[in-house]
Amino acid sequence: MTIKSVDVVVVGGSAAGVTAAITARRHYPSKSVLLVRKEAQVSIPCGIPYICGTVGTPEKNLIPNAVLEKEQVEILVSEATTIDRERKSVVTAAGEVTYDRLIVATGSHPVTPPIPGVEKEGIFTILKDVEHLRKMQDHLKTAHDIVVVGGGFIGIEFADEIRKMGGKTITIVEIAAHCLSLSYDGEFCVEAEQVIRSSGITILTTSKVTGFTGHGHVTGVQLSNGTILKADAVILGTGSKANAELAKAAGLRIGATGGIDVDRAMRTSDRHIFACGDCAEKVSFFGGGHSTLKLASIATSEARIAGANLFGITRENPGTVGVWSTALGDFALGTAGLTETMAKAWGYDTVTATVEGPNRHPGGMPGGAQTKVKLVFECNSGVLLGGQVQGNSAAGEMINAVSACVQRRMTAEDIAMFQMGTHPALTASPIAYPLVNAAELAIKAIRSRKGS
């Protein structure tokens, strides 16, 4: 039964789907746009850890329908089960919807590690599902001993937010030498771990989980060294994988990392179908190799490309730069592009420069904090490959400025000539502005390396 015929169908209601639908309406106002999603309510992905403490409930962390309604995007709450490419239709539980163009934005699934006992009650993956999250939150309220498996963003943010519930013993178990080691250079990871430990959270690094104990309900987490950590609740923060099953069943080409294969216009192997967000394959901005990064910022950027290109190519994806940040109370960290560790692994000959100082002038101004900035340059060309920022909440916007420099392939000389706006109550001193000072130090190091 065909229930509707529209110009554009978007499957998926999270960050990529919402942004793609809005972009399509703005670029093609005469076209009808329908967003199909299985959830009646959609969580804001990056806000999920904060339901435990800062925000309070899953219901306070929702993408409002108003953002779609304002742009006259229709919403169909029904699960898409099949894409029929010959009929140009999407089959849903409510009936069939035909399209002229289709955008697949089905997101990702959390990875459930194949650890014995992982199916026990009290062990939670991070699903973007309000009912699941409500159940998890209710369980955490009564739990006392909580183990978080995985010391990446999700893991440390959940641990920090659960701490705010009070009366909990919280342990983070990380297989690598440091928490956040896939996202920051070692010196930044060490300082983040100090902040986490100072709040009363235990961190066990270079530790592998080999099993979960208990009869029906989890009671412990077994480590490879034989230790069993007491646990009546476990959070799995062990990554995610592309949700490309719908596209694969439709015969769309799948890429090397399991995402839907797309070109730089976000077109799939079917020219009438586009894909964006976590479900789509990623190409790195650095060298064009595969990228496994899955971030809401990447998803929305790809969505703006897909939505704009539906009826005529106007935008191309330059590749995934990777920009992210995290916060632990007043302590914030951000990365844009490649860290020094990443750049060396990619084979770049790097020069780095690190500066640290107050982000106000004088440093005693209200709202001030010590800020550390590390920039990574390619030695021969002087092009900025990436940077990291550590400080207070201002680090979130400063790392976005670093990202802009990376995307424009600016050199150390370009950044040294950066004309910034400064104010004592808002920024670091123009004499000691961190991006400029780091660039100047890098220029000195590059010249020293070249013997000039």
CATH at 355 = 3.50.50.60
The answer on 414 and 336 residing in a single domain is yes
Close Cβ partners of 253 (under 8 Å, ≥ 6 residues apart): 260, 261, 268, 269
Q: Is the pLDDT of residue 2 over 90?
A: no
In a domain, 317, yes or no: no
The answer on 179 and 157 residing in a single domain is yes
Share of the chain above pLDDT 70, in %: 99
Reported as a pLDDT band with limits 50, 70 and 90, residue 431 is very high
Q: Is the pLDDT of residue 450 over 90?
A: no
The answer on 184 and 77 residing in a single domain is no
Reported as a pLDDT band with limits 50, 70 and 90, residue 4 is confident
d(CA 11, CA 36): 5
The domain tally of the chain equals 3
In a domain, 313, yes or no: no
In a domain, 118, yes or no: no
Helix (H, G, I), strand (E, B) or coil at 18: helix
The answer on 359 and 445 residing in a single domain is yes
The answer on 161 and 102 residing in a single domain is no
In a domain, 115, yes or no: no
> Which residue, of 249, 278, 308, is where some domain finishes?
308
> Which residue, of 238, 264, 292, is where some domain finishes?
238
Taking CA 284 as the corner, what is the angle to CA 280 and CA 290, rounded to the nearest 5 degrees? 65
Q: How many H-runs (helices) and E-runs (strands) does the chain carry? A: 11, 26
In a domain, 81, yes or no: yes
Q: Give the pLDDT confidence score for residue 3 in this predicted structure.
A: 80
> Which residue, of 285, 308, 331, is where some domain finishes?
308
In a domain, 74, yes or no: yes
In a domain, 114, yes or no: no
Show the tokens assigned to 158.
Answer: 């959940």
Cβ proximity of 41 and 135 under 8 Å: no
Q: Which residues on neighbouring strands pair with residue 117, listed in sequence order?
A: none
Show the tokens assigned to 429.
Answer: 């001193």
Q: Which residues on neighbouring strands pair with residue 358, listed in sequence order?
A: 370
Beta strands in 31-184 (DSSP E): 33-37, 74-77, 80-84, 89-92, 95-98, 101-104, 108-110, 123-124, 145-149, 169-173
The answer on 271 and 333 residing in a single domain is no
Show the tokens assigned to 393.
Answer: 């909440």
The answer on 261 and 232 residing in a single domain is no
In a domain, 85, yes or no: yes
Question: Residue 142 to residues 48, 148, 199: CA-CA distances in angstroms?
Answer: 19, 16, 20
Q: Give the pLDDT confidence score for residue 452 in this predicted structure.
A: 59
pLDDT tens column, 55-80: 899 999 999 999 999 999 999 999 99
Per the listing, tokens 């040294």 go with 416
Instruction: Give me the domain span that covers residue 34.
Output: 2-109+241-308
d(CA 342, CA 335): 11
pLDDT tens column, 26-55: 999 999 999 999 999 999 989 999 999 898
The answer on 407 and 377 residing in a single domain is yes
The answer on 355 and 414 residing in a single domain is yes
The answer on 250 and 232 residing in a single domain is no
Helix (H, G, I), strand (E, B) or coil at 77: strand
d(CA 161, CA 54): 7
Backbone angles phi, psi at 2, to 5 degrees: -85, 120
Per the listing, tokens 């550390």 go with 372
The answer on 105 and 245 residing in a single domain is yes
Beta strands in 2-73 (DSSP E): 2-5, 8-11, 33-37
Q: What is the mean pLDDT of residues 174-201?
A: 97
d(CA 270, CA 143): 49
Residues counted in the chain: 452
- This prediction has a pTM of 0.95
The answer on 425 and 354 residing in a single domain is yes
Give the DSSP letter of residue 243. Answer: -
